Amino acid sequence: MLTHPVGMRTPMIGRYEHTVLDCPDPRALARFYSELLDMQVERESDDWVVIRDADDRHRLAFQRVPHLREPQWPDPERPQQMHLDVMIDDIEQAEAAVLSIGATRLAHDGPDYRVYADPAGHPFCLCWA
């Protein structure tokens, strides 16, 4: 939680859900990270795979991007392709809260998520079930 200068706490807006990595083959990259981190597949499709640890506390997701321009660290012309998913209960309330702390809504929404940019321009999604 954020702490204000006077010590008051800001209510939680959402819960961390995933870190999402763009890739051309979600199943292949999920296999790599499953082996690397000893994680299990939680759900998968051709375009989306989620892996989790045994305690069900940490998740990574892999999203198909057919014409991915691979990152070349630390070249700013070829930046990293990942974002955070934040699970929320009420999209209207959460959207108002993130906009009030400096987020910008982006134009790429889905049926169960909305996309925003943080104050530095990094994308993240507010997701609901």
Pairing of strands 15-23, 82-87: antiparallel
31 occurs within a structural domain: yes
* Domain-embedded: residue 84: yes
Q: Is residue 42 part of a domain?
A: yes
Residue 61 and residue 19 in contact, taking contact as beta carbons nearer than 8 Å: yes
**Residue 22 sits in which domain range?**
15-127
Strand order in the sheet with 48-52: 40-44, 48-52, 59-64, 15-23, 82-87, 123-127, 113-117, 104-105
Predicted TM-score (pTM) of this structure = 0.75
CATH code, 45: 3.10.180.10
The domain tally of the chain equals: 1
Q: Is the pLDDT of residue 50 over 50?
A: yes
Domain assignment present for residue 66? The answer is yes
Of 5-9, 18-22, 50-54, 82-86, the one with minimum mean pLDDT is 5-9
60 located within any domain: yes
DSSP assignment of 7-40? SPBPPP--EEEEEEEEES-HHHHHHHHHHHHT-E
* Structure confidence by residue, pLDDT tens digits, 77-119: 888 778 889 999 999 999 999 999 999 999 889 999 999 999 8
- Ramachandran region of residue 102, left (φ > 0), alpha (ψ -120 to 50) or beta? left
11 or 8: whose pLDDT is higher? Answer: 11
